[in-house]
Structure formats: structure tokens, C-alpha cells
Amino acid sequence: MSDLTLQQPDDTGHEGAAATQTEKTLSRSDLNRAWWIWTFFNLSAFSMERMQAPAFVYMMSPIMKRLYGDNPEEIKSALKRHMVFFNTEPQTGVIAHGVTVALEQQRASGAPINDEMINGIKAGIMGPMAGIGDSMIPGTLIPILLAIGISLSQGTGSPLGPIFYIIAYPVIILSISYYLFMFGYRYGMSSMRELAEAGFRRITSSFAVLGLMVAGAIGASIITLVTPLTYTSGSGASLVKVSVQTTLNTIFPQLLPLLLVVFLWWGMRRRGWPINRALLVTLLVILVGYLPGLLGSIFNIPILSAFRIF
């Protein structure tokens, strides 16, 4: 992909083309319309086969009309060019859309840009942006905002938490999305490399730090896993029943949930459990801890009852 720099129109080639084709321009409202269409329709005709391609064409429609409005052949070739597979994180992946619009404009103005180049650049951006977007938006931003919302309503059931989330998320994400779209448009191709070199990985790993700390806080406050297990200590008259959970709480509160999370994480990461397997494991962990006590209470077997872990 190193030859992608070709899309920067070199002066001589550009002047040659400009003799036959006039410089095409796009207005701010064309760009705004394209972004709004995408924001609403990004998954509306989603299918496993072509994913977001129909929405991408719809997004390009005001651009195509402005650039090629008087030329049905150009419209036809643009439609075919953009009906190819497209998929990215819909809210942050719009960098790809901005860049594509910029390329399409340069192409219409006579720059030597062909279909393969446009689709190569689109595909080159949509992949990384899908990964980065997924880990930043549903992976970090949404859990943080939800955690704040949960903490505003936890215990009381107050509507404040949901209302906070309903307002905060769209405002934050739409600002980011609009900025990224325009960013992509302004800088065209070179932006992506510049941004990548400016340390995309540094940004994501810093986001991961924030996301992980919040994940720890959420986990510690929403998972419930306690044991009714007791043991006896002392002898004779000073015999006392001690609750295991009370002892655990003095040493490390919420230790059982932490162990469960780490166990599930280990299973998914090292053993490659799919999510359903993780759910099943949780089901079994609870069942194994609960079953002896249950059987003990049904059949009145004290020894079994004592083995009840949860």
C-alpha cells in the first residue's frame, strides 16, 4: 500500500487534467448532509454479505449529485465503486467517509485517482477504525457513562441515571463523530498515516487504562457473590460459629466476585471460550456451589447442607 501517496495530485498532472475538467467544489452543507445521512442510516440495510455498503452509497448521494450530477455514466461508475463490502465502527469510522469524499472530489476535479485506489484507502481505514472504535466507544466510553448512570440510580431507582445517559451519550459521541468526519475530509489520505504515526497505540493504551480502572470499579460494585458457609471455632462452651463471608470481608471485600471475573477472563483469553461457554461456566459454578445445600435441605441431610458454598 506504499504507492497510495499517488493520490496527492502532483501539479503537472493536475494542470493537464484541469484543461478538460473544471475544479469541483463541495459546500459545507453537502458535507453536513452526508454526515447526517450516515448517522441515521449507517446500519439500516445491514446484511452479512455487504454490511454497510447500501448506507455508504446513501451517504455519498449528496456528494455524487454535486460532483457528477450532469453525467449519468459517472454516477453509474460511482455507484458500482461504493457498493462493495464496507464495515467499520459506525460512529468513529467516519474518518474513512471523510477521506473518501475528499478523494471523490479530487477525482471529479481530474486528479488521477482510480476505483482501486479509493476502495483500497477505504478498506485500509475501515479495518483499524473498526478495532479502535470498538474498544474506545462500546469498550470504554459507554461503560463509563453507564457506570455513572448506574451510580446515580443504584439503590434508589431514581430516573436520574437513565436521563443522564440519554443526554450525555448522544451529545458526546455526535461531537466526536462529526469532528472525525470533517477531520478525514480535510486531511484526505495523509491524515491517517500522520495520525497513526502520532501514536494511535499510545492513545488506545491510555484509554485502556481509564477503561480498565472503571471496569474494576463497576465490577466491584455490581457483582453479588457471597457464601453462607460457616465454620466452628473453639471448643466446649466457647464454641462459636464463624461466617466465612464475614472473615473474607475483613481480609478482602468482594474477593469471590473478583476471583470469578479473573477465572472467566482466563478461560476466554487462554482457553478461547466463546461467550456462551463463559455463561455456562458461571451457571455451573453457581450450581455446584448451590446444589449440595439444596439437596441437603430437600432430603434433610445435614452434612450436605454444610457443604453449601453459595
Which 130-189 residues touch another protein, going by CB under 8 A?
130, 134-135, 137-140, 142-144, 146-151, 153-154, 156-159, 161-163, 165-166, 169-170, 173-174, 177
Residue numbers 256-285 binding another protein by CB under 8 A: 257-258, 260-261, 264-265, 268-269, 274-276, 278-279, 282-283, 285
**How remote is the C-alpha of 166 from its chain's centroid?**
18
Cell, residue 306: 454444610
Please state the closest distance from residue 275 (CB atom) to another protein, in A: 5
Among 218, 244, 248, 304, binds another protein (CB under 8 A): 218
Residue 41 or 179 having the CB closest to another protein: 41
Integer Cα distance of 25 and 108 in angstroms: 9
Shortest reach from residue 105's CB to another protein, in Å: 17
Burial class (CB in 10 A: 0-12, 13-18, 19+), 92: buried
Q: Which of 123, 286, 296, 304 binds another protein (CB under 8 A)?
A: 286
State the nearest-atom distance from the C-beta of 49 to another protein, in Å.
4
- Is there a contact between 186 and 258 (Cβ–Cβ < 8 Å)? no
Distance CA 185, CA 263 (A): 45
Segment interacting with another protein, rule: CB under 8 A, options 18-26, 97-105, 110-118, 221-229: 221-229
By the rule CB under 8 A, 248 interacts with another protein: no
Residue 169: Cβ-neighbour burial (10 angstroms; 0-12, 13-18, 19+): middle
- Give the interface segment with another protein, choosing from 11-19, 26-34, 92-100, 220-228 (CB under 8 A): 220-228
* Contacts to another protein from residues 56-95, by CB under 8 A: 57-58, 61, 64-65, 72-73, 75-76, 79-80, 83, 87, 90-91
Which of 257, 253, 256, 273 shows the shortest CA–CA distance to 265?
A: 273
Calpha distance 71→55 (Å, rounded): 22
Q: Residue 110 or residue 149: which is nearer to another protein going by CB?
A: 149
Separation CA 99–CA 68 (nearest Å): 18
Kindly state the cell numbers that stand for 299: 432430603
CA 186, 192, 195, 201 torsion-angle sign: positive
State the minimum distance, in angstroms, from the CB of residue 270 to another protein.
Answer: 9
User: Does position 50 bind another protein by CB under 8 A?
Assistant: yes
